Amino acid sequence: MNIDEIIAFHEITQLKYRYLRAVDTQDWTLLASVFAANVRTWYDKGKLTTQGREAAVKGLADHMGPAVHSHHIAVHPEITLTGPTTAKGVWRFQDIVWFDKAHPNPLVPQLEGGERLIGAGYYYDEYEKENGAWKISSTGFVRIFESVEAMRNNPDVTLRSEPAYGKLNG
């Protein structure tokens, strides 16, 4: 481990944090900025797969949007440099997602609104440097488990979903 590896580790983890902030605050401009031009996504072991930056952003924007309030955290980064401008990373993640309304979702069928998903798994990422800045060139995940609780008829649950999605000036 040397100082250059520490700096690369730091820059790549910052990249991933921006990615996760973009997804959950639904900032699709920020999301585009973290992807390499030819990024590949293969969410949930390939159930949702895209190729290229535009398709990757559209894929996420389509199945999120006003029907969803999501919270994805990624921790335990294990990053390996695979070349002067390439790296790969493994991260544990956890997600809590509220499906506020019925909306087609390629990963979770038959949502009626009022469901809460709680899941966990691993991200398997690849990164590359474009013009001196790290970008995500491939990302996907494999779950440990995923639970969905239908709560629309449960009078003991109250949910406050913020329209600004956690943004300061939303």
Contact residues for its own copies, defined by CB under 8 A: 1-3, 6-7, 9-11, 14, 16-18, 20-21, 24-25, 69-71, 73-78, 90, 92, 94, 96, 98, 116, 118, 120-122, 124, 142-151, 153-154, 156-162, 164-168, 170
The length of the chain is: 170
Nearer to its own copies among residue 54 and residue 112 (C-beta): 112
Nearer to its own copies among residue 7 and residue 54 (C-beta): 7
Comparing CA positions, the residue from 120, 119, 118 lying closest to residue 151 is 118
Please list the residues that pair with 95 across neighbouring strands: 72, 119
CA distance 131 to 113: 43
Least spacing, CB of residue 144 vs its own copies, in Å? 4
Nearer to its own copies among residue 50 and residue 122 (C-beta): 122
Least spacing, CB of residue 10 vs its own copies, in Å? 6
Contact 42, 60 (CB under 8 A): no
Nearer to its own copies among residue 46 and residue 104 (C-beta): 46
CA distance 155 to 170: 29
Coil, helix or strand at residue 166: coil
